[in-house]
Amino acid sequence: MCTSNAYGATLLFPVSIHTTRMLGMSAVGKSRIPGEGLAAHEAPREGTVEAWAWQYIHTMDLNQKRFPTQPPSLWEDGQVARRIASPGRPPELEVVARSPRTPKPGALIRDKVRAQLFHTFWHHELQAAELFAWALLAFPQTPLEFRQGLLGILQDEVRHMALYEGHLAKLGFQVGSFPVRDWFWQRVPMAEEPEEFVALVSLGLESGNLDHGALFAPRLRIAGDAEAAAIVDQISLDEEAHVAFGVLWFPRLMGKTTYDFEAWRRALPKPLSPILFRGKPLDRKARARAGQSDSFMDALAEWTPPEA
Ligand SMILES: [Fe+2]
Ligand SMILES: [Fe+2]
């Protein structure tokens, strides 16, 4: 059952189901949520970080997606979990069901192919920014320090969008020049608990992007676009910090001090497989700098799906 809101976006769960899920399932913040006054389909109180995040997800104004205002410093005093199922999409963005194929390395000598690649990366960053906003709305029971971390990463992702867009313009293209696919949005809201979100995004998608960044930067350099390569390298460095955030918070959210590959694999929302979150090869140096252990990386590199 979904609930529409004033912006035309939909909420994934009716309040009662999600509230039941939240109670007693998370190691952090097990305090009971008041049964009265829940209004998960309503916008948060104006002037709060939550209202800012809500607006960022729902807006259909491309400029607000690209250049959001500074978030306020006030956090909502409440425990209302709001789970937004889909973002507002500006009319400039054509959303399609299937992404174009990843270009072959040799094709990157063409400006249009590099522009299309950067456009895809830009849209990954947009979805990441929106989904960190999603998480701070979905998991209000988590420590404020965790949610402040989500907000900081969100702002990094917005900066990354600007870096990609700047180079896109130099190549003669703009946001909206190519269709986009909301792949992350189709999966990340499957996370029911904050540790699942961290497993999926920080230790899954963002970790895998360290591997992919290490592949694309040299390809772009060989294709003659040193500036594009430098942007990918610069963003990968920021992403190491995002992965480190996951290394810190994944065990902490479960009331533990450490984690192993199996704990991470079990926390991935089903049916998502570890295969989705590794490049070939792993960028072991970057992952190690972010705090991932050798045993985790060994297990990830070797993992094969169980036979049906
Ligand atoms: Fe990013
Ligand atoms: Fe990131």
Of 234 and 10, more confident: 234
For 62-120, write each residue's pLDDT tens digit. Answer: 999 999 999 999 999 778 999 999 999 999 999 998 877 777 878 999 999 999 999 99
- Ligand of minimum distance to the alpha carbon of 159: 1
Which pLDDT score, from 0 to 100, does residue 123 have? 98
In the reported structure, the alpha carbon of residue 229 is separated from the centroid of ligand 1 by a whole-number distance in angstroms of 15
Band of pLDDT at residue 59, cut at 50, 70 and 90: very high
**Which ligand is closest in space to the CA of residue 157?**
1
Q: Which ligand is nearest to the CA of 208?
A: 2
Give the model's pLDDT for residue 39.
54
Q: Which ligand is located closest to the Cα atom of residue 162?
A: 1
Q: Taking the model in full, what pTM does it have?
A: 0.86
Percent of the chain with pLDDT over 90: 80
What is the C-alpha to C-alpha distance for residues 17 and 176, in angstroms, rounded to an integer?
37
C-alpha 237 to ligand 2 mean position (Å):
10
Q: Pick from 116, 113, 96, 101: which is nearest to 180 by CA?
A: 96
Render pLDDT for 210-249 as a digit per residue (tens, 0 to 9). Answer: 999 999 999 999 999 999 999 999 999 999 999 999 999 9
Confidence at residue 308, expressed as pLDDT on a 0 to 100 scale: 58
Q: What's the mean pLDDT in 2-10?
A: 29
Q: C-alpha distances in angstroms, 56 versus 70, 134, 158, 218?
A: 11, 9, 11, 34
Say which amino acid occupies 281. Answer: P
Of residues 226 and 19, which shows the higher confidence score? 226
Structure-model confidence comparison of residues 55 and 1, the more confident one? 55
Say whether pLDDT at 8 is over 50: no
Report the mean per-residue pLDDT for the chain. 87
Instruction: Tell me, in angstroms, the distance from the centre of ligand 2 to residue 266's CA.
Output: 22
Q: Which bound ligand lies closest to the C-alpha atom of 161?
A: 1
DSSP 271: T
What is the phi-psi region of residue 93: left when phi exceeds 0, alpha when psi lies from -120 to 50, beta otherwise? beta
Please report which confidence band the pLDDT of residue 158 belongs to, taking 50, 70 and 90 as the band edges. very high
Residue 41: its pLDDT value, please?
75
Percent of the chain with pLDDT over 70: 87
Number of DSSP helices (H) and strands (E) in the chain, helices first: 12, 2
Rounded to the nearest 5 percent, the helix, strand and coil shares of the chain are 55, 0, 40
User: 33 CA to middle of ligand 1, Å?
Assistant: 33
Distance from Cα 200 to the centre of ligand 2, integer Å = 12
The whole-angstrom separation of Cα 25 and Cα 27 is 7
Distance in Å, CA 303 to ligand 1 centroid = 26
**4 phi, psi to nearest 5 deg:** -85, 150
Distance from residue 161's CA to the centre of ligand 2 (Å): 11
If you measure from the C-alpha of residue 31 to the centroid of ligand 1, how many angstroms do you get, rounded to a whole number?
33
Q: Domain extents for the chain?
A: 3-35+43-302
Angle 29-34-37 (CA atoms, 0-180°, nearest 5)?
135
Query: 12 CA to middle of ligand 2, Å?
Result: 24
Task: Describe the crossing of helices 49-58 and 144-170 by its angle, rounded to 10 degrees.
Answer: 40
Residue 267: which residues within 8 A CB-CB, separation 6 or more?
A: 195, 196, 199, 200, 250
Q: How far apart are CA 274 and CA 5, in angstroms?
A: 34
Contact status, residue 59 vs residue 65, Cβ threshold 8 Å: yes
| Beta bridge partner(s), residue 53 | none
Q: How many whole angstroms from 35 Cα to the centroid of ligand 1? A: 37
